[in-house]
Structure 1
């Protein structure tokens, strides 16, 4: 117990030393440096992602949000850098990178626009699912155009009556000859209506997880339609619609894996998806720590800058501490998943739960530090708050509630 007390005391003293040197910014900048522990190669593509975020995303983030623009051309530029199929195999056009590499890239991109990066992460998850569970014909048909983002993908699991309880989904797929006939609907689908490829979980058998299969439905398929575009608090650079199937005919050749394998496919996709969305939260929090720091250095109250306020110094140091701790957990989960470790699923869930909560709190605290300015849309901090709030709901809701 004595050792723990001394460790905590030492940490607090260290944070206070970092905080009181805030005007120099050296200690804080070193502490939150996201390149720590990365290989030379990882640092290189991290820099590429940071530069892309700064030059191609940050200047347009507010406009995409305000006008609800799906930035197709910007994402295709990202795909030219290999970000359309980051962990897809090279033989079908992917970059063949690891889960840790992927996390590093998504964190960097999210400093430019968390909403757009979150969609890119979903697209990558769908692409990986086809690459991993598809046969050679399916991989060669879909993956190359998804990797270049000439075509975009959406993940269709959630339904109006089944959110976190995914095994209770009721969209049916009845086999008739060489086609499945799909009936039902999916809710809250990112990219819905604007994307080209839909990875759909549907019921081909009885109740429960073992009755679920996975099929790929292409836009333009008869019987496929979409609901109205949803009006959302955040994530406005990606459209969200219901995806509706009414006697929708899908070739059996578009089924991924075997009948009854769909739930396992969906969950394996979500393991990586949880790391991805946590990484997007990291990027937003990283950006907000920097925005808060910069604001404290220039905003004056009572005759001096806020950076001289000891309470705010300590708050910023705590935010930096939580950011670094969150990053370490995400990267450990990414390594576990890449290595196929027995604790991978648990760590992916832990990372998603802890990091999306902590990073939202960091962004929210950064907004608070901006005072009234933080509530203005002229300041990016409010958009990061709005965009990552949903990360606590999707990919497995942090607090069990309704769908």
Structure 2
């Protein structure tokens, strides 16, 4: 209550509170994947009063959006057709003009053209993230793709790289100023992904798990860049090495994609179909990881692998290929092992060391869990992104 000049009291009406600034996250598609998982984790763990969020998908959204627990996140699908769909540029421009975000965050090559549309639409704060590469450009050397990135580089206010490898590549090959590139690794929910307590849960079809089974596991999209065929070949090499492993060794690969059928066919042709379980896409990844004894990621390229982080949080030792951000996460000889890509023989040797040395896996897994708790919590990841967003949106003098 305030008093006016005549001494009367009157009630003040508070000014309407301005809504939090809006961030538009532009991605190719909202489906199962490491990039998408990282985006969902970020939105769920950022302080809700600081920023609002909208996700614009160049293609479409799937049921994966149900993992977003924060209310009020608008999800927009532009339904881009395969190939050159000039109409989607107009739809993106109109969407940005309607939303009027304070900041846009594009991710990977598939959405970087959105930087130009955002500039035309008047979005002054623009961030671009690099999360990894695909089969079309495993090592980031494509002249065509890099020329596009270099042309759009002046429009990007800040770059975010999920691995040290991508951070160096942005500076050395794309020409980004070091001060405008921040390395922010992915985070993991260490409460959801936790070590096995007691015996492993029963998973797979009847008869899949046997007494004292040693489960070699992996999780990911079954596409060429993940190279699960090399893991299958390594598994078959181990089975042929001696009769002992066949009685205990089991393979579990969780994920859907075009390569799944080929992997199943390879296992069946070798007479090992009953020793492996490839269930496709699942929602109980944390439980399935607690049934594994060793996690293996045979990728040809990686940014900062969410599945490696989840495995480490589950206290699993990790055998991974020495590519991209894998070398930042896996400490060879301490929390796991690193092998060259497309090397089934060396991959089989690395798996065999854990199979034949029962105390090695638990020891490396415990160290991996401690590393996650110290360096890869979701609050720390969200805070790092928040610092970039705050610096970009802060009023300029």
The TM-score with structure 1 as length reference comes to 0.27
The TM-score with structure 2 as length reference comes to 0.28
State the structure with more CA Rg. Answer: 2
